[in-house]
Structures are given as structure tokens and as C-alpha cells.
Structure 1
């Protein structure tokens, strides 16, 4: 009976969309808890988004981030250039296979809006090797980051968008800790939703 009132109250926690975009990758277990539920950082809700064809996935994410309660996107994939976690700070105007441009009229590159320095600091404090980089890998992750960033509204209230790259060789516990630490660092910058956004 005590839970009845709480269940009827709107959830004012902002949502963070965590997209693990590579198919058949054990990264998908990074958001699981021991009880099998989807993990969530303090003060935020997690929407888990799985892989899809890159163009369709970019459209799905862009549509979701246009919703009032979705305030952040964390893309999660692999790095092929480092043995550390990497926060990619920008994406170039390139297709996933490189060479051709995503957009003829779009900017040459787009900068991530996630708090890269804080994410790296908290990963290191969690005992994980990590750095931030402007080096863009030519793959689906960079393509998605570019597409999402260039679709954001041009205002100060733009959502936080970042790309976390995970080392290819890493055990399950470190993988889980890294993804959850990065998501929690982003979530700390999100404020509760105003009541108007919930109607």
C-alpha cells in the first residue's frame, strides 16, 4: 500500500540513452545487474538501445533524443587503437567505411557535448586505464556520433552526447564498470525534468 502513491507519481528523472551499436558483442551485458534488471545511475533512467543498420540506428537515436525526457546519449563500442577506455571527443564527416562524406553540406567535424574530462577522471578513479582523444576511428561509432551531434538543436540546452570506446581485450567486470562509470558521470550533469516536460 505504501508504494501506491510513489507508483502514481511521474518519474522526473531524465533518461540517458545507452546505445551498444556493435552486433554480437558482449558489451550488451554491461548494463545488466546481478538480478537481471537494467542498471541505472543515481538520478537518471537508462534506455538501452541495441544495434541496427547504421542509418536506421542514427534515425532512431535522433528521434529519441528529440523527446523531452531524453537528455543524454552514450554510444558504446570498441576501440581498435588502444588498450585503454577512450572517450572520443569529435567525429568527422565520414561514412562508416571512410572516404565519402555523410553530408555534402554538413560541417567537416562535430564535437561531442559529453563531459569528456570528467568521464576520464572517474574511469581512472575506478581503477581503469582511460583517456580522451580527438582521433576519430572510421567506423559505425564515429558515423553515429557525427549524425547525432549534427542533428542536435542549436541552443544551450542541447543534450549531452558522447562515445565511449572499450578495449578489445577486457574482462566482463572491467567492461561493466567502465560503461556504468561513464554513464554515471554523464548522469550527474543532468537535472530533474521540469513538471511541464512531463505533461
Structure 2
């Protein structure tokens, strides 16, 4: 009976993919704590996405973003350049090892489409040190951010894509608060899915 109800009444809330891309990152535990309780940002769904080979993960996230119910991606990784949370605003055209270009035809850099200023403000209001930066870090996070952004279609309503960098030393409760706060800020910019797109 429940399956029938789920089929006839699809969840019309847009999905935000939350990807902790490093397999040994403690943020995975915090994300599991947040999502296992059934918490979701108002008006949206937070869906955790597993780790994997960076190239395969970029393709998986881009493919999922192409589906009608998915409207945002929040990448979550570490920063080694700050004692606070950082929202990375852009990513450069570089291979994972750094130096060489990832794409010979792609733009030199790609800008995040997530509401960066609003996320930083909300994190600060929640009592967490946070800032936005144009400075990337040579890691999987920057690679994924560039790959996903440059795969987006040229449209005015492009999905929100952002990269939240977490300080290397942070307590679990602050990390859970940051994940809830960042996804909630992104959710406020998403519209409910039209019925025709889910039928």
C-alpha cells in the first residue's frame, strides 16, 4: 500500500545532492547523523552521495543533476588554509595532479552557482567562522567543482553547485550544524518541481 501511495504521490521537493568526496573524511559521519534522522531542509530533500573515483564521481553527479528532480549539489571537503569554514567560489581548469589543463577547450575557470554570500552569512549567524574565497586548493574538491560546473547546460535556471570546505579540526556538532545550515540556505533558492515534470 505504501508503495502504491509513493508511486501516485511523488515527492515534489527538489533534491540537493550532498557529496562528501573523501572516503575517510569525518564529515561522512556528520552527514549520516543528519540524514539518518530524517532531517531535510525546508522545501527540499538532502540526498547523500557516496565517494568514488573522482572521474566517475564527477560523471555520476553531473548525470544526477540532469534529472528533473535534482536542482543542487553541495560538495563537502576539507580546507588546509583556514581555521574556519570556506565557500570556494570558483575552480580552475586543472587536472587532479595540478599544473596541466584538464580541458583544452574549457574555460580557464568556472564560478560556483550556489548562493555563496547567503551560505556564509547563515553559517556566521549560526556561530560558525566562515568566509568565501576565490582561492582553490589542488585537490578532488576543486576538480569536481570544475567538472560539474562546466557540464551544466547554458540556462538561466542552472542548478546551484557549491563547495563547502571544512577546517581540519572541528567538533562533530559544529559540522552537523554547518551541513544543515548550508543545505537550508541552498534550499531557499529552489522552486517546487512542477507536477508535469514528475508525471
TM-score, normalising length: structure 2: 0.94
Q: Is the 8 A contact 2:93 2:106 kept in 1?
A: yes
Q: Indicate the residue corresponding to 2:57 in structure 1.
A: 57
Which whole-Å CA distance do the structure 1 matches of 2:102 and 2:34 have between them? 40
Q: Is the 8 A contact 2:34 2:176 kept in 1?
A: no
Structure 2 residue 91 is matched with structure 1 residue 91: yes
Q: Is the 8 A contact 2:113 2:162 kept in 1?
A: yes
Deviates more, 1:39-48 or 1:72-81: 39-48
Q: Indicate the residue corresponding to 1:26 in structure 2.
A: 26
Deviates more, 1:66-75 or 1:5-14: 5-14
TM-score, normalising length: structure 1: 0.94
Which whole-Å CA distance do the structure 2 matches of 1:11 and 1:123 have between them? 28
Give the C-alpha shift of residue 39 in structure 1.
3.0
Give the C-alpha shift of residue 5 in structure 1.
9.5
Q: Is the 8 A contact 1:30 1:180 kept in 2?
A: no
Q: Is the 8 A contact 1:78 1:168 kept in 2?
A: yes
Which whole-Å CA distance do the structure 2 matches of 1:26 and 1:38 have between them? 20
Which whole-Å CA distance do the structure 1 matches of 2:15 and 2:21 have between them? 18
Give the C-alpha shift of residue 6 in structure 1.
6.7
Q: What SS class does the counterpart of residue 157 from structure 1 fall into?
A: coil
Q: What is the root-mean-square deviation of aligned Cα atoms in Å?
A: 1.9
Which whole-Å CA distance do the structure 2 matches of 1:195 and 1:135 have between them? 40
Q: Indicate the residue corresponding to 2:73 in structure 1.
A: 73
Which whole-Å CA distance do the structure 2 matches of 1:19 and 1:102 have between them? 21
Give the C-alpha shift of residue 51 in structure 1.
1.0
Which whole-Å CA distance do the structure 1 matches of 2:136 and 2:113 have between them? 15
Q: Indicate the residue corresponding to 2:198 in structure 1.
A: 198
Give the C-alpha shift of residue 101 in structure 1.
1.2
Which whole-Å CA distance do the structure 1 matches of 2:55 and 2:127 have between them? 35
Q: Indicate the residue corresponding to 2:167 in structure 1.
A: 167
Which whole-Å CA distance do the structure 2 matches of 1:64 and 1:34 have between them? 21
CA 1:96 to 1:4, structure 2 compared with 1: closer, same or farther past 3 Å?
closer
Q: Is the 8 A contact 1:15 1:71 kept in 2?
A: yes
Q: Is the 8 A contact 1:74 1:183 kept in 2?
A: yes
